[in-house]
Structure 1
Amino acid sequence: MAPNPAHTALWPAPHASEAVDATVHVPGSKSVTNRALVLAALASEPGWLRRPLRSRDTLLMAEALRAMGVEIEETVSSSSTGGAGNPERAGEAWRVLPDGLRGPATVDVGNAGTVMRFLPPLAALADGPVRFDGDPRSYERPLNGVIDALRVLGARIDDDGRGSLPMTVHGGGALDGGPVEIDASSSSQFVSALLLSGPRFNQGVEVRHIGSSLPSLPHIRMTVDMLRAVGAQVDTPESGGEPNVWRVTPGALLGRDLTIEPDLSNAQPFLAAALVTGGRVLIPDWPARTTQPGDRLREIFTEMGGCCELADYGLVLTGSGSIHGIDVDLGDVGELTPGIAAVAALADSPSTLRGVSHLRLHETDRLAALTKEINELGGDVTETADGLHIRPRRLHGGIFHTYDDHRMATAGAIIGLAVEGVQIENVATTAKTMPDFPELWTGMLGA
């Protein structure tokens, strides 16, 4: 079979000849959209998602839920205003009509961690078997935390002992639930997956993390906040519970009318552009309060030389013309690592990025990929046990490979702003979370 041309084409990363001055409307959050879809599918009444992200990962989630018997109607209203996402789609809304979860069904997870981990607990509640399959890389991503936990809670799963895809969940229409111990040190999504469906388990669920440090805690806080917003009772370590223990009480979930926040992690390359070019970028509708990990960009990019101003209309980042190295623990915000590494490669002093050993299990081994690609442009990056050490060097043009990883593609684009001749292999992979990235990027530069 011939390779997909989109996967082999080289995209010349635009080089910035002057400081950027732009307003960029960032599409909705993937993390919020996919959690909202799951909760709406489990609700006892219809719900609305407004300004949802339309990307490969969210469309995979929607199609998977449809396959399991959930009706999702898509509408676009020309009268709606606002700009959290693409202005042309600002009035888009999805109406979710839960009508029981059914099998037999087949779910394509692509390479979406939220789909492959959040939906097996729903499948255990379905009336019939649900088969899960996906991209070749999805077979390599850990799923044992969810599989083993569901078996303890009463589910029957055929995975041929792999602890990974492909697999079949034999839904029995209900699940006992109760207490379960898991090691979620490779992905906080193992915890979120069980919490999201926990209200529908007969006994609810008590999830106890027994492994080493837990990555991406803000994503678990996002899950808890969204559960509480639809009426679930959740006890957490932060609310006075035991450390590393989350409890969800069984009960009905409410249908809500939810407007999806802009994806703050996807705002990263645009904010980085202001830092790299000494320019100014406004991201409209940046929330004053959020559980999204991307909100930490305000702190990190300020330390690296930028100036952030959060106002009612959004976030403005202004670059100073200088980029400083940083020593930072990114354990809670690992998804920001590729973009921060790209900026650090252009800094005036070394950087150490720590706490992100779990990135070796993401869409690709992000630590190895960043090291290889930046070094092949003349950089000096070394892997550590739990991260990267980056010594800035004068970089040159070349091909920046993405490994079908959207955040690798945007990292290469950031470097391309300052380094002429950078070509991104398979920029189309950004469609995983940001389908219009090339157009947004060139539009930011005034092209």
Structure 2
Amino acid sequence: METHLGWPAPTAAGPLDAQLRLPGSKSMTARALVLGAVSHGSTTLRGPLRARDTELMAAGLRAMGCHVSTADDNLWLLRPRPLTGPAKVNVGLAGTVLRFLPPVAGLATGEVAFDGQPAARHRAMAPMIGALRSLGARIDTDDGLPFTVHGRGRLGGGPVTIDASASSQLVSGLLLSAAGYDRGVVVRHVGAPVPKPRLALTVQMLRAAGAGVDDSRPDVWAVEPGRLKGRGWAIEPDLATAAPFLAAALVAGGTVTVQGWPVATGEPTRRLLEVLRQLGGEAAVTPRGLVVRGAGTVRGITADLTGLTDVTAVVAAVAALADAPSRLRGPEPPDQLARLALALSEVGADVTLEGSVLHIRPRVLRGGTLRTHGDRRLAHAGAVLGLAVPGLRLDDVACTAKTLPDFPRLWSTMVSSYEGGPAGTETRVRRG
């Protein structure tokens, strides 16, 4: 339970023995919602993530006229209708809503006004606004929130160049709606490299919905105009959400199983399993799910986490408990890595950041308050550290609701499932 002093991260009493069922991926849920809104025919999402960001996405689509039913936690239904305005879209702090729905609004008839929490007004939107204008959209803004898209029911589309260094979502947002533009789009990214796994997911899901997509050239994505087909989506678990639970087995020892993981898993999952093995665990995808076993001791490693977006904080937390130095190259933006280094240092870790590389050296950690800066990734890292560091608290565990609303209960239940205790305890996301 969170108090005015923060959330006390539970310490493991012994090796774990836990089986978990986690909700679906936020990334896949968000993309399926957008594709359902711009497709012809009904779309279903089985096992979606119900969280703050996905609820905002569904509400934004409803505001533009799409029928979105989320009454059943396990099966959401979309029936596309002509997109219309006037409409108001609250993006909250959700980057996916901010970057995925303005291109949809370009297909609406009428005005669609966007705004969100004050912190969202600092998000980089000038590249998206400029790109949409070059594709034929009329938008009232200088470079960010609040802004209004004056939809005319169609967009010309065509080639567009964008600097998506701030977020690969800027590219994904343009691609997801592109088949509905008169000429489709050809998006060319210029600038610093962007993480590719989420873009690969966007391309994969577009093709599954019937879009013609060419991503054969580096940093260029072309989507042909055409009719997308509504379909059923089975939403897979999210790797970044699962990462702290899997890492717990290494820190506390024992076994943690994330049930329902697809046996035919993708490259990011295989890479994370390899990192967990390097850290000293046994990790495999089995018919029972994703299984990680640990002995409660951690080895120092050198690893490049490029392609494993959003797991650097958890891996760094495990490395801070290792028996030897670690060197981790993170794919996250420099400011995010700097906050991670600061948060670990504040609880006693010996961490330095050089460019995009974290150098972590063994040191006895201390209890105290770990500042999350409202970042669920830092909260996950703090929870992992708390398994081995008594007296550690998180100043804000509520930020985990962005991808897993039930995180505190799930985590505490997992920690209580130690070997010799209530063995094989199964933890599930509470519904309702």
Which residue identity lines up with residue 359 of structure 1 in the other structure? P
User: How far did 1:9 drift?
Assistant: 5.1
1:394 aligned to 2:364?
Answer: yes
Deviations 1:92-122 (A, max 9, x none): 2111011011111111111111111111100
Q: Which residue number corresponds to residue 359 of structure 1?
A: 333
From 420, 426, 442, the equivalent of 2:396 is 426
From 9, 12, 33, the equivalent of 2:8 is 12
From 138, 162, 174, the equivalent of 1:182 is 162
Stretch deviating more after TM superposition (166-175 or 420-429): 166-175
User: How far did 1:430 drift?
Assistant: 0.7
Stretch deviating more after TM superposition (288-297 or 128-137): 288-297
CA contact (8 A) 2:12 2:416 kept: no
Q: Which residue number corresponds to residue 445 of structure 1?
A: 415
CA distance in 2, matches of 1:288, 1:247: 31
1:155 aligned to 2:137?
Answer: yes
From 130, 150, 167, the equivalent of 2:147 is 167
CA distance in 2, matches of 1:148, 1:43: 25
3-state DSSP class of the match of 2:159? strand
CA distance in 2, matches of 1:343, 1:279: 15
Deviations 1:50-97 (A, max 9, x none): 111000111111111111111111343xxxxxxxxxxxx5xx211101
Q: Which residue number corresponds to residue 415 of structure 1?
A: 385
Stretch deviating more after TM superposition (246-255 or 288-297): 288-297
| Cα separation, partners in 2 of 1:397 and 1:6, compared to 1, 3 Å | closer
Which residue identity lines up with residue 94 of structure 1 in the other structure? W
| Cα separation, partners in 2 of 1:177 and 1:291, compared to 1, 3 Å | farther
Which residue identity lines up with residue 178 of structure 2 in the other structure? G
CA contact (8 A) 1:307 1:320 kept: no
CA contact (8 A) 2:317 2:381 kept: yes
CA contact (8 A) 2:167 2:194 kept: yes
From 119, 135, 138, the equivalent of 2:101 is 119
Stretch deviating more after TM superposition (327-336 or 426-435): 327-336
Q: Which residue number corresponds to residue 199 of structure 2?
A: 220
CA distance in 2, matches of 1:245, 1:117: 18
3-state DSSP class of the match of 2:93? coil
Deviations 1:256-308 (A, max 9, x none): 01111111210011001001112110111112334584553212111111111
| Cα separation, partners in 2 of 1:156 and 1:294, compared to 1, 3 Å | farther
CA distance in 1, matches of 2:31, 2:270: 18
Which residue identity lines up with residue 177 of structure 1 in the other structure? G
**What is the correspondence of 1:25-424 to structure 2 with a 5 Å cutoff?**
25-76=21-72, 92-160=74-142, 163-215=143-195, 217-237=196-216, 242-291=217-266, 293-356=268-331, 358-360=332-334, 365-424=335-394
CA distance in 1, matches of 2:144, 2:75: 34
CA distance in 2, matches of 1:127, 1:290: 40
Which residue identity lines up with residue 369 of structure 2 in the other structure? I
CA distance in 1, matches of 2:64, 2:122: 25
Q: How many residues align?
A: 417
| Cα separation, partners in 2 of 1:232 and 1:432, compared to 1, 3 Å | same
CA contact (8 A) 2:16 2:252 kept: yes
TM-score if structure 1 supplies the norm length? Answer: 0.90
User: How far did 1:134 drift?
Assistant: 1.5
Which residue identity lines up with residue 333 of structure 2 in the other structure? L
3-state DSSP class of the match of 1:332? coil
CA distance in 2, matches of 1:411, 1:220: 25
TM-score if structure 2 supplies the norm length? Answer: 0.93
CA distance in 1, matches of 2:271, 2:146: 35
Which residue identity lines up with residue 393 of structure 2 in the other structure? Q
Percent identity over paired residues: 52
